[in-house]
Structure 1
Amino acid sequence: MNGTQAEVGVEFNKTTPATTIPKAEEVQATLKEAVNNPNITLNVTFDAASIEIIRVPATAPPTVSTTVLQNTTITTNGTAANITTVAATMKPGTSAASNATTKTLTTVTTTTTTKTTTAVQTIRQLTFRSPGETFTTDLLDSTSTAFKNRATLLKSTLEPYYKRSFSSFSDLTVKSFRNGSIINEMELRFASASPPTGSEIAQVLVNAASNITAFTVDTTSIFVDGTQVSSGGNHKISLIMASCMVLLSWLLSSQH
């Protein structure tokens, strides 16, 4: 009958150092000062003499989330919140006092465990030459239409072969082109700390070369991580040389 008593919990931001959090008496004094200040207009009228501290935290303030005290029950995540509760009596006859109800603050302690997973990825550099194709200077500019079109062509053509060959293969990115006819430089990413060897990566390109019509592949000029990898093309040269030697031997023997 003498007014409405309200309990207000004051919770400090989690970034506030424990040593700088105001004491309970300072919290009480701040509210009294605001009530007694004639320059501050409040929506309700407080009885300054009734302002008192009724609860203070038992331990040092932990890390909590800042919560606006609007609901009947307040729950904070993390460990117990540092909440200082101040009680004050609002005098009857004010606009808010007639419908005011007592607020109850509840602190709930929960534990959250976060697992961090680091993905392992290995990048291999693949370079090969496209003989018979004309290099143009706009292939030096990664923003040019010519560069984008050729990069898309190589990516869409080669990625399916590597996906079928290696389960750890992630994707392929064209990095640059150089003159001679066109030298293609790209990165292959594998979701593994033990990716395929340079020979295995090159062999996929060698096997695919005969089926690729969108661009040419010189199987004798395949490099993985800067090291030239031998291929089937070298064997073709050896067969030609062997045939010439047989023919020469036959010609020499026929003269005797």
Structure 2
Amino acid sequence: MAGLKIENLEKKFVKKGKGKEEDSFVLAIQDIDLNVKDGEFVTILGPSGCGKTTLLRIIAGLETYSDGNIYLNGEKITGPSPKRGMVFQEYSLFPWKTVLENVMFGPLMQGATKEEAKTKALPYISLVGLSDFINSYPYELSGGMKQRVAIARALANEPDIILMDEPFGALDAQTRNNLQKELLRIWQEEKRTIIFVTHSVDEAVFLSDRIIILTGRPGTVKKEIPINIPRPRDRTRPEENAIRNEVLHLLDSARCAID
């Protein structure tokens, strides 16, 4: 099956005992079943500590899982792969490398020559609107520009799926809104699958084809909400307000369950 398939996924973290105490376990996520189609934009929402980032890191191959199965395009995920690109909230750029060098890094690690990596990187830098800044260093860029570099770097690996962990969370409201629109433009041009984690209900409704609501810890799927509203979307539209209200109600009930 093309796309991402998650079956009965579970993750336990070991809590080391002190002295003669035995080790115990913290169950982070449990019984996660989820299918994401090729080219779909899916957002994950849930209370703090429900395992959203843990789930994303498992999909990326950066975290092991305790039980269940997870496949991308029929291939079982057992570790990191350039087929799965990750964009973090904190940018994670190399401060000693220029914009161009940061975006070239992935292709170089996959064995491309410098010329091949540059040829691959330049179109993605252009796609995120930073062609005039290819020789700039991260300290010379605004927060929004740094996140554009991070997106271009993920795209340069030409992954099957892009995983985004609150990528706009540290930005001011205006920059965040602008980058949401830019991300949708890039997604529509690139046709790549995106799984997006956020705490913002407004952001989730504006961006997504589908929202996945997780319960409190241990996180499991509480509800899937399809968003069948054509793009470009208007945040003031009654249909969007209705979905926001539904999502907020579900999140409130998930929080109450762990209070």
TM class, shorter-chain normalised?
A: under 0.3
Tell me which of the two structures has the higher relative contact order, counting C-alpha pairs closer than 8 angstroms and 6 or more residues apart.
2
User: What is the TM-score normalised by the length of structure 2?
Assistant: 0.23
**Normalized per residue, which structure has more helix?**
2
